[in-house]
Structure 1
């Protein structure tokens, strides 16, 4: 699945003329936001975690407690990551797509694909996260 996403990400970049980015301002901002939200989850700070959600997400989860419970139940690797590292990024217009490679507490590896959208005030907010479980590697 991850390989399929990687191919799709590369093809989409070629088709749209967008570039895969490594270290530009929107990517740095997106990574900081993701890192701060994960820290909020680790600290059980629902208010801080909710502050990074886009208006679209807030529309679906109008209460910070409901949002926090949804993440706790449906996005356990994001809620309590063992380790995480940033993968590839893509900037297209007012959107940043950021891969986050996560080692979950149960030992399974995941890729969280974050979508962040630029807001009218110039800030970025998390507009969605897609979880992809990594295929198990060969046994050593």
Structure 2
């Protein structure tokens, strides 16, 4: 018969092992999401329509059923993403159920203005992430 102290020790070890397996998976998800975003931005910078389009989620591809329409939409409506000056990754949040994540990207647009792009990524059946939308928020002008 196990003692109470032994049961607590076993339970603590189990919980520690569980936490160790969960935390890296979430970190890996965030890293995978950042890689998708970065690869798409690099494709935009290279005018590689096919590669940029490949990172779009199925819902986006339904709205823009071919690469040309998708590329035109990004070029006209998302200039800071299409031609960023500098960009850096901010905070990320993985959905509790693992179905997707939200990634903040701080971007300097082609005109020098600062933006925050909030990317929504959804997990695909194969475990990869695809971009399901981007919300652009213009940074406030500095106070003088």
TM range, smaller chain: 0.7 to 0.9
Which residue matches 1:105? 110
Per the TM alignment, residue 134 of structure 1 is displaced from its structure 2 partner at its CA by 0.4
Per the TM alignment, residue 138 of structure 1 is displaced from its structure 2 partner at its CA by 2.3
How far apart in 2 are the matches of 1:105 and 1:129? 17
Per the TM alignment, residue 37 of structure 1 is displaced from its structure 2 partner at its CA by 0.1
Alignment: residue pair count: 118
Which residue matches 1:39? 42
Which residue matches 1:19? none
SS of match in other structure, 2:39: helix
1:28 equivalent in alignment to 2:31: yes
> CA-atom RMSD, angstroms?
1.3
- Relative to its length, the structure with more helix (as a share) is 2
Which residue matches 1:121? 126
How far apart in 1 are the matches of 2:34 and 2:60? 19
TM-score (norm 1): 0.82
Gaps of 5+ in 2: 1-25
How far apart in 1 are the matches of 2:48 and 2:122? 22
CA deviation vs aligned residue, 1:76-103 (integer Å, no higher than 9, x gap): 0000000000010000121110000001
Gaps of 5+ in 1: 1-22
Which residue matches 2:75? 72
Tell me which structure has the larger Cα radius of gyration: 2
How far apart in 2 are the matches of 1:108 and 1:54? 28
Per the TM alignment, residue 107 of structure 1 is displaced from its structure 2 partner at its CA by 1.1
How far apart in 2 are the matches of 1:67 and 1:105? 20
How far apart in 2 are the matches of 1:137 and 1:26? 34
Which structure carries more relative contact order (alpha carbon 8 Å, separation 6+)?
Answer: 1
1:56 equivalent in alignment to 2:53: no
